[in-house]
């Protein structure tokens, strides 16, 4: 009965062109990677899909630090942080991050989580008690949405970037505690939330601003500290969540907030308390990765990334002008996340499959991850891409556009 039930649901997923499948990478995370497809055949692919924005995942110093960490601390941490899983390496990562954000959040303290998903779930469920109203941005990441579903708080959604709607909702609220929750950089769109305006509303209505900077940390700001540095924000009302599996190239996440908030999370966030701490070796390697983010290497990589973004944007602009009959459009992004909106699910998957046959991996993103009719290629750039890599993508997209236009005519 269960199997029949699931098979019928799987068929429904397939009928909507929504079936997902796993590929297997055989080489390190990098723009040029050997990947085994669903057909079992391994191919050399030019990847425009990882969130390893600074190319640190396979950086020799990061890999060496991980190996050194394993020699120093062994494999797993053995227990949850409050039992015996917390190490000096964990503490040093937290201290480094607290110091980094001290200019932005007074009395900042940092608390580590195993993944960004866990950090988001932990923060939203721990802070979102029955006295709280959560104001949740429409395009928030699934992990924030899942947090609001598990929380006991009242949840009110506001439109994407709609500061005026949020103001009206805050003005109506009678809740004792108000939390505004938003992605800093929207993961499927690449645009940046209007954080200064949101913070001004938090001040005006005595609310707190939870910022998920998964895609800004390491990438935005002169020193790579992310969207708070990008906007030059400073407030006790900021609760920052950052992830360490994207630009930092490893794994994990952190929350930086006023020390009372992080102390409460340590006492109350169930997935902090009841889950095995990350391996100390990973934390040891994170120290090297954080050092690289802050160093001249990090700055140079961020500059190169900005140059690649400009090249891609100009190239796609020219391509769209050459193919006016196609409904494609480039999302207005200021980050290395550069979605090309195609429209239908079948169209985007056909395009992604064609690119893959030509040796380029650019994932198609479909509903429910994005709105219906807005299926897209989610192009992400990394500092380890070259100009030639971007030119190759542009040429492949142009050839596909020519064929699709011809087929439609
Ligand atoms: C990736 C992502 C997360 C989850 O982080 P993980 O460390 O991958 O679990 C959370 N929020 C946003 C916006 C993300 O893009």
Please report the pLDDT score of residue 232 as a whole number: 98
Please report the pLDDT score of residue 52 as a whole number: 98
Please report the pLDDT score of residue 368 as a whole number: 86
* Mean pLDDT of the region 112-130: 98
Q: Ligand 1 test: best mutation among 192, 240, 246, most atoms within 8 Å of CB?
A: 246
Question: What is the tens place of the pLDDT at every residue in 86-108?
Answer: 999 999 999 999 999 999 999 99
Ligand 1: which residue has its CA nearest to atom 6? Answer: 116
- Half-sphere exposure of residue 396: CA atoms within 13 angstroms, side-chain side: 21
Question: What is the tens place of the pLDDT at every residue in 256-313?
Answer: 999 999 999 999 999 999 999 999 999 999 999 999 999 999 999 999 999 999 999 9
The pocket around ligand 1, CB under 6 angstroms, is made up of: 115-117, 120, 141, 143, 183, 187, 212, 214-215, 243, 245, 253
Ligand 1: which residue has its CA nearest to atom 8? Answer: 116
pLDDT higher than 90, residue 39:
no
Please report the pLDDT score of residue 37 as a whole number: 86
Q: Ligand 1 test: best mutation among 214, 215, 253, 370, most atoms within 8 Å of CB?
A: 214
Mean pLDDT is lowest, of 125-134, 145-154, 352-361, 365-374, for 365-374
| Closest ligand 1 atom to 185 CA | 13
Q: Ligand 1 test: best mutation among 29, 141, 142, 241, most atoms within 8 Å of CB?
A: 141
Ligand 1: which residue has its CA nearest to atom 14? Answer: 214
pLDDT category at 50 given cuts 50, 70, 90 is very high
Distance 116 CA to ligand 1 centre (A): 5
**pLDDT, mean over the chain:** 96
Q: What are the tokens at 332?
A: 């207005």
| Closest ligand 1 atom to 117 CA | 9
Closest by CA to 346, choosing from 363, 360, 333, 364, is: 364
Q: What are the tokens at 60?
A: 């020799």
Spatial separation of the C-alpha atoms in residues 30 and 289, rounded to whole Å: 16
Positions of CATH 3.90.1150.10 in the chain? 22-51+297-408
Peptide bond into 368 cis (omega under 30): yes
Q: Ligand 1 test: best mutation among 187, 190, 192, 210, most atoms within 8 Å of CB?
A: 187
| Burial 113-146, CB ≥16 within 10 A → b, else e | bbbbbbbbbbbbbbbbeeebbbbbbebbbebbbb
* Mean pLDDT of the region 332-345: 95
* Mean pLDDT of the region 190-217: 98
Distance 212 CA to ligand 1 centre (A): 8
Choosing among 3.30.830.10, 1.10.10.10, 3.40.640.10, 3.20.20.70, the CATH entry for 60-294 is 3.40.640.10
| Closest ligand 1 atom to 141 CA | 13
Can you give the pTM of this predicted structure? Answer: 0.96
pLDDT category at 409 given cuts 50, 70, 90 is confident
Question: What is the tens place of the pLDDT at every residue in 236-252?
Answer: 999 999 999 999 999 99
pLDDT higher than 90, residue 180:
yes
Positions of CATH 3.40.640.10 in the chain? 60-294
Q: Ligand 1 test: best mutation among 212, 220, 275, most atoms within 8 Å of CB?
A: 212
pLDDT higher than 80, residue 408:
no
Spatial separation of the C-alpha atoms in residues 198 and 60, rounded to whole Å: 40
Distance 114 CA to ligand 1 centre (A): 11
Mind spelling out the 3-state secondary structure of the chain?
A: CHHHHHHHHHHHHHHCCCCCCCCEECCCCCCEEEEECCCCCEEEEEECCCCCCCCCCCCHHHHHHHHHHHHHHCCCCCCCHHHHHCCHHHHHHHHHHHHHHCCCCCCEEEEEECCHHHHHHHHHHHHCCCCEEEEEECCCCHHHHHHHHHCCCEEEEECCCCHHHHHHHHHHCCCCEEEEEEECECCCCCCECCHHHHHHHHHHCCEEEEEECCCCCCCCCCCCCCHHHHHCCCCCCEEEEEECCCCCCCCCEEEEEEHHHHHHHHHHCHHHHCCCCCCHHHHHHHHHHHHHHHCHHHHHHHHHHHHHHHHHHHHHHHHHHHCCCCCCEECCCCCCEEEEEEECHHHHHHHHHHHHHCCEECCEECCCCCCCCCEEEEEECCCCCCHHHHHHHHHHHHHHHHHHHHHHC
Fold entry, domain 22-51+297-408? 3.90.1150
Ligand 1: which residue has its CA nearest to atom 3? Answer: 116
Ligand 1: which residue has its CA nearest to atom 10? Answer: 116
pLDDT category at 191 given cuts 50, 70, 90 is very high
* Mean pLDDT of the region 341-357: 94
| Closest ligand 1 atom to 245 CA | 7
Distance 2 CA to ligand 1 centre (A): 31
pLDDT higher than 90, residue 19:
no
Distance 184 CA to ligand 1 centre (A): 11
pLDDT higher than 90, residue 405:
no
């Amino acid at each position: 009965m269960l199997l029949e039930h699931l098979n019928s649901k799987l068929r429904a997923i397939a009928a909507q062109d929504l079936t997902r499948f796993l590929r297997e990478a055989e080489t390190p995370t990098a723009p040029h990677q050997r990947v085994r497809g669903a057909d079992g055949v391994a191919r050399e692919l030019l990847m425009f899909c990882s969130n390893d924005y600074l190319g640190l995942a396979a950086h020799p110093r990061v890999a060496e630090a991980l190996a050194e960490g394993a020699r120093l601390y062994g494999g797993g941490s053995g227990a949850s942080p409050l039992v015996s899983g917390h190490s000096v390496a964990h503490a040093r990562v937290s201290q480094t991050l607290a110091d980094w954000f001290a200019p932005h959040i007074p009395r900042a303290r940092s608390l580590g989580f195993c993944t960004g998903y866990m950090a988001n779930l932990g923060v939203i469920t721990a802070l979102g008690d029955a006295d709280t109203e959560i104001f949740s941005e429409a395009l928030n990441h699934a992990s924030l949405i899942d947090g609001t579903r598990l929380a006991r708080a009242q949840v009110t959604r506001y439109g994407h970037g709609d500061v005026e709607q949020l103001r009206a909702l805050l003005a109506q609220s009678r809740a004792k505690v108000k939390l505004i929750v938003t992605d800093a950089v929207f993961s499927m769109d690449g645009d940046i939330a209007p954080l200064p305006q949101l913070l001004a509303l938090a001040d005006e209505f005595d609310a707190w601003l939870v910022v998920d900077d998964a895609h800004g940390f390491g990438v935005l700001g002169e020193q790579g500290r992310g969207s708070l540095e990008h906007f030059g924000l400073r407030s006790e009302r900021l609760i920052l969540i950052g992830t360490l599996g994207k630009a930092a190239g490893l794994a994990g996440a952190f929350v930086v907030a006023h020390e009372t908030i992080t102390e409460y999370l340590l006492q109350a966030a169930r997935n902090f308390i009841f889950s095995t701490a990350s391996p100390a070796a990973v934390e040891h390697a994170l120290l090297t990765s954080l050092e690289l983010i802050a160093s001249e290497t990090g700055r140079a990589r961020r500059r190169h990334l900005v140059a690649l973004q400009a090249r891609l944007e100009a190239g796609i602009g020219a391509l769209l002008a050459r193919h006016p009959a196609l409904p494609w459009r480039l999302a207005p992004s200021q980050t290395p996340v550069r979605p090309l909106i195609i429209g239908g699910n079948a169209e985007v998957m056909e395009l992604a499959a064609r690119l893959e046959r030509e040796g380029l991996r650019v994932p198609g993103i479909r509903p429910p991850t994005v709105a219906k009719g807005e299926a897209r290629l989610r192009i992400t750039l990394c500092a380890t891409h070259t100009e030639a890599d971007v030119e190759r993508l542009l040429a492949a997209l142009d050839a596909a556009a020519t064929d699709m236009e011809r087929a439609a005519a």
